[in-house]
Homo-oligomer: A and B are copies of this chain.
Amino acid sequence: MAKDIYHNQVKSALESEGWTITADPYYLKMQAIEYEVDLGAEKIIAASKDNHKIAIEIKSFLVQSPTYEMHKAIGQFQTYAFALRKQEPERILYLAVPIRIYEDFFVLPFIKELISFYNIKLIVFDPDNKKIVKWIN
């Protein structure tokens, strides 16, 4: 489905930078919440390289308006980051977004400030070339 379209591209892009995919999907335990449904649609993956451990929420921004998708992405990111902090605090969560939406939307001053204010870390990827374009911490 559309939501999953970039899943494999992001995995390949990470692997080509020397990361090892350690879980796909990576499960977050959130007591009493049925997360499988949502995670089934938009899986988090986990990767590691040297001493670094990361989790990645991949967003296609293909389905609805960027604003609408961004709301959902921020809400998911905050929820996952909160769960991750309890489960495996040394693992850092990233939001992976395609270069197209990054250049059209995430560079807007308001969005840039918003993302930075809430400490949302980005991986910008190029799905066509299966490459990571940049990491924004």
Chain A interface residues (CB < 8 Å from chain B): 30-35, 37-38, 65, 67-68, 70-76, 78-79, 82-83, 108-111, 113-114, 117-118
> A111 and B67 in contact (CB under 8 A), knowing A74-B79, A118-B78?
no
User: In the complex, which residues of chain B have a beta carbon less than 8 angstroms from the beta carbon of A73?
Assistant: 75
Assembly stoichiometry (copies)? 2
- Say whether B67 contacts A33, CB under 8 Å: yes
Q: If A75-B75, A118-B78 touch, does A67 touch B110 (CB 8 Å cutoff)?
A: no
Main secondary structure of the interface of A (DSSP, over half): helix
**In the complex, chain B residues whose CB is within 8 Å of the CB of A35:** 67
In the bound complex, residues from chain B placing their C-beta under 8 Å from that of A113 are 82
Closest Cβ of chain B to A40, distance in Å, is 11
Measured CB to CB, the closest approach of chain B to A111, in angstroms, equals 7
Do A33 and B110 have beta carbons less than 8 Å apart? yes
* C-alpha spacing A117/B80, complex, angstroms: 13
Contact B110 A32 (CB under 8 A): yes
